[in-house]
Amino acid sequence: MPLSVARKIAYDVLRRVEAEGAYATDVLHTELGAGVRADDAALATELSLGVLRWRGLLDFLLQRALKKPVERLDLPVAIALRMGLYQLRFLERIPARAAVNESAELVKSARKSSAASLVNAVLRRLAAEAKEPPEKFLPEDISLVEPLSILHSHPAWLVNRWLARLGERQTTSLLQSDNRTPRLACSLHDAERRDEILDSLRKSGLSVDPGHLLQEAFTITGGSPTRTDSFLRGDISIQDEASQAIPLLLDVQPGDRVLDLCAAPGGKTPPLARNAGRNGVIIVSDRHAHRLRAMRKQFKRLRLSDVRLVELDAATNLPFGIQFDRILVDAPCSGTGTLARHPEIRWRLKPEQLRELHDLQVRLLTSALNQLAPGGRLVYSTCSLEPEENEDVVDEALRKSPEVQRVAASEAARSISTHLAPGVDAKKLFDDLGQFHTAPGEFQTDGFFAALLEKK
C-alpha cells in the first residue's frame, strides 16, 4: 500500500531530528510547502511534534513488547514504532489497522523490510491495550521522579531538578504545559492597520483571536499564516507573545543607537528598528553567516532597509567604535522554556551543558555591557527556566561591572505596562529585583527571562 503523504513527511522530519540534529519546526516549514494539502500538513505536524513530546512515554510502553531497548533499534524501526504507537494512543480518529499497516510500510520504504514483521507484531500487541491508562504499567515502589518522568515524558534529571526548586505541584503543571500544543501567536508590524490586516487574515479562512499577554499580539487557528498575503507583504510574523515582549522592555526612542546581539532569527529586531526610526542606528549581529543571510531575507520581507548586519563573535571584545544607548542580548540558551514548541530539546539537553551555557552567557553579557553608553539600558534575555542561565548570569556579570545595576521593579514594569493586554498586571511579570519572567502555561506563552540593566 502507498504511504500517506502526511506520514512520509512526519517520518522524514523525525529522521532528520534524530540523525542530523535538526529542529522539527524548521524541517516542517521547509516540507510543508504550498503543494501539501492542509489536512496532510496538519497530520504531519501532529505526528512529528506529538511523537517528540511523548517519546519518553512511547518508549516506556514499547519496551514492554521488545527484547532490547528502543534506542538500540535501527533508527527507521524506532521511528516507525513510535509513530504507530502515538497514533494508537493519541489519535482516536485514525483506525488502528491504518496505524499498524502504515508503520510497517514505513520500515519497508526505508529498506528495512526484514523489520516489518516486528513492527506489525509489536503494534498489534500494543493496540489491544491502547485504551488502558499508562499508569497501569508502572512498576511498583518507584520514586516520585520516575512516574512524573515517564507519564509526562521528560528526562528524569530535568524533572528531578524542577522538583527540587519548584515543588511537586508547580513541576507537574510545568510538565503538563510542555505537552500541550502551543498557540500560534503572531506579531503585528503596523498597529495603525490592525483591523485591515486582521480582516485580510480572516478572509483567507483563518480564525483570529486576541493575544493573552500583549495588546498588539493575536493568535491564529485554522491554517498557516505563512501562506497569506499579510505574511508575504510583511504585515505580520509568527512569534510567541513572551518573545514579542522582550524588545519592548528596552523602550527604544527615536534616534537611539541600538545593538541587537545574537539576533538570529531576527524576530526581536523589528520593534527596535521601528522605534529608533530613520535617525537611529540599528546594528544586528550573529556569529553565523548563514543565519545573517536568513535575517537579511526576513528583513527584506518586513521592509527594514536601515538595519546593518554584522558577522561577529559577541563573546569577545566587540569591534565597534561607538557606544550604544540600547543593547539587546538575547543569549543562546538551553531553551527549557520552549519545550512545548521545540520538544526535541528535552531529549538532547544534558545537565553539564547548563554550566557550559552559563560561561558563554556571562562572556556575552560582560562584552555587551562594555559597549553600553552611560545612561544606556541593556536587556539580557533567554527562553530558559534555569537559574544558571538567568539570575546567576546577571549576578556574575554585575560583579564584574560595578557601574551597572538592575532597573528597579516598578520602573521595569512601567516600561511594558502600556503594551499589555487588558487585565494583565505588569507588576506580576517581574520579581523583586525587577527581572521579567513568564512561565509556560500562565499566559499560554513560552517561558522567558529578562533582566533590564542600566549603566550609571
Find the mean pLDDT for residues 307-334. Answer: 96
* Largest interatomic CA distance in the chain: 70
What percent of the residues of the chain are helix, what percent strand, and what percent coil, each to the nearest 5? Answer: 50, 15, 35
Tens digits of per-residue pLDDT, 421-430? 999 999 999 9
2: confidence class by pLDDT, cuts 50, 70, 90? low
Find the mean pLDDT for residues 436-447. Answer: 94
Residue-level pLDDT at 38: 87
Residue 151: its H or E element? helix 145-151
CATH number of 184-238: 3.30.70.1170
Q: What percent of the chain has pLDDT over 70?
A: 100
Query: pLDDT at residue 34 above 80?
Result: no
Residue-level pLDDT at 216: 94
Residue-level pLDDT at 377: 98
In DSSP terms, which residues pair with 328 in a beta bridge? Answer: 260, 379
Pick the CATH number of 243-455 from 2.40.280.10, 3.40.50.150, 3.40.190.290, 3.40.640.10: 3.40.50.150
Q: Which of 308, 312, 305 is nearest to 262 (CA)?
A: 312
Higher pLDDT, 387 or 226: 387
Euclidean distance between CA atoms 393 and 363, whole angstroms: 9
Euclidean distance between CA atoms 18 and 436, whole angstroms: 34
Q: Which of 227, 251, 221 is nearest to 444 (CA)?
A: 221
Find the mean pLDDT for residues 216-231. Answer: 92
Tens digits of per-residue pLDDT, 224-237? 898 899 999 999 99
Residue 441 backbone zone (phi > 0: left; psi -120 to 50: alpha; other: beta): left
Query: pLDDT at residue 211 above 80?
Result: yes
Is 383 known to be catalytic? yes
The gap from C-alpha 72 to its chain's centroid, in whole angstroms, comes to: 29
Residue 81: its H or E element? helix 75-90
- In sequence order, what are the residues at sequence separation of 6 or more whose Cβ sits closer than 8 angstroms to the Cβ of residue 352? none
Euclidean distance between CA atoms 448 and 456, whole angstroms: 26
Query: pLDDT at residue 1 above 60?
Result: no
Residue-level pLDDT at 268: 97
DSSP letters, 312-360, are --TTS----SS-EEEEEEE-----GGGTTTSTTHHHH--HHHHHHHHHH
> For the chain, which residues make up each domain, given as ranges?
5-137, 184-238, 243-455
In this structure, are strands 184-188 and 218-221 parallel, antiparallel, or unpaired? Answer: antiparallel
Q: What percent of the chain has pLDDT over 90?
A: 91
Tens digits of per-residue pLDDT, 235-281? 999 999 999 999 999 999 999 999 999 999 999 999 999 999 999 99
Tens digits of per-residue pLDDT, 112-171? 888 999 999 999 999 999 999 999 999 888 888 999 999 999 999 999 999 999 999 999
Query: pLDDT at residue 43 above 60?
Result: yes
Euclidean distance between CA atoms 225 and 239, whole angstroms: 11
Residue 266 backbone zone (phi > 0: left; psi -120 to 50: alpha; other: beta): left
Domain 5-137 falls under CATH 3.30.428.10: no
Euclidean distance between CA atoms 18 and 410, whole angstroms: 45
Tens digits of per-residue pLDDT, 188-200? 999 999 999 999 9
Contact present, 381 and 329 (Cβ < 8 Å)? yes
Query: pLDDT at residue 3 above 80?
Result: no
Residue-level pLDDT at 358: 98
Residue 311: its H or E element? strand 307-311
Strands laid side by side in the 184-188 sheet: 207-210, 218-221, 184-188, 236-238
- In Å, what is the CA distance from 193 to each residue of 197, 210, 372? 6, 15, 35
Q: What is the rounded average pLDDT for all residues in the chain?
A: 95
Residue 146: its H or E element? helix 145-151
Euclidean distance between CA atoms 7 and 10, whole angstroms: 5
In this structure, are strands 448-455 and 404-406 parallel, antiparallel, or unpaired? Answer: antiparallel
Find the mean pLDDT for residues 91-115. Answer: 92
Q: Which of 186, 262, 333, 383 is catalytic?
A: 383
Burial 16-49 (b: 16+ CB within 10 A, else e): bbbeeebbbbebbeebbeeebeeebbbbbbbbbb
